[in-house]
Structure 1
Amino acid sequence: MKTLGKKIRLLRHQKGWSQEDVAKRLDISIPAFSKIETGITDINLSRLEQIADLFEMSVVQLLTFNDAEGELKYANELETVNKKLMDRETEVIDLQKKVIELFEELRQTKATA
């Protein structure tokens, strides 16, 4: 059941919903929904149907949902964010060099004055 919980969590993240959002829609407590996602609680058929309906899929689709597609999406997003981070780090290094150059110019100006 842990795999099902991971699938539900992935679907929830894809929708941009919090655990609270889903718990309210299912009319259960947040801890109860958290236990479903973590696999602590086994899901009965009626709850499974309710969750499948919430994500606009059949029970079979929910049970066979391939989370590799979702992981690929997150991997692509992670790659994009990492590239942006590296670009920002390069900008910071360039700015640090500029600060050092300006400091050296200021120091030389004071030394010759």
Structure 2
Amino acid sequence: MKTLGKKIRLLRHQKGWSQEEVAKRLDISIPAFSKIETGITDINLSRLEQIAVLFEMSVVQLLTYNEVEQDQKIASELENVNKKLMDRETEVIDLQKKVIELFEELRHKKVANA
């Protein structure tokens, strides 16, 4: 159970929540939650379900949660976001070129009409 407690602590830290905040959300005392995180207290199924819901995952995901897998998932998501950002930058550059071309075209027409 100590491993599960470490997973719960890691998830709590990732959310930026204090033990007090999580304890309130679970409607338990801070010492009771601390005992869950340290593995002193075994977690029953209903409490496990409650914790899984709190962290927006299934009980299976909570039990099988792996920091390495999570890091890989985050890295993959970052890669996708980075690609989208690069695509947007390319679009912005193309639009800037079009604006410059249109400006030059207008300038040449103005010079020709003068």
Structure 2 residue ranges without an equivalent (≥5): 75-114
User: What is the aligned partner in structure 2 of residue 38 from structure 1?
Assistant: 38
Q: Which amino acid aligns with 1:38?
A: T
Residues 22-72 of structure 1: CA distance to partner in whole angstroms, max 9, x if unpaired? 000000000000000000000000000000000000000000001235678
TM normalised by structure 2 equals 0.60
Q: How does 1:55-74 map to 2 (within 5 A)?
A: 55-69=55-69
- Return structure 1 stretches of 4+ with deviation > 2 angstroms: 68-73
Partner of 2:52: 52
Q: Give the paired residue count.
A: 73
Distance 1:15 1:35, change over 3 A: same
- What is the aligned-residue RMSD (CA, Å)? 1.7
Q: Which amino acid aligns with 2:35?
A: K
Identical amino acids, percent of aligned pairs: 88
CA contact (8 A) 1:10 1:70 kept: no
* Uncovered stretches (5+) of structure 1, i.e. residues with no partner: 74-113
TM value normalised by structure 1: 0.61
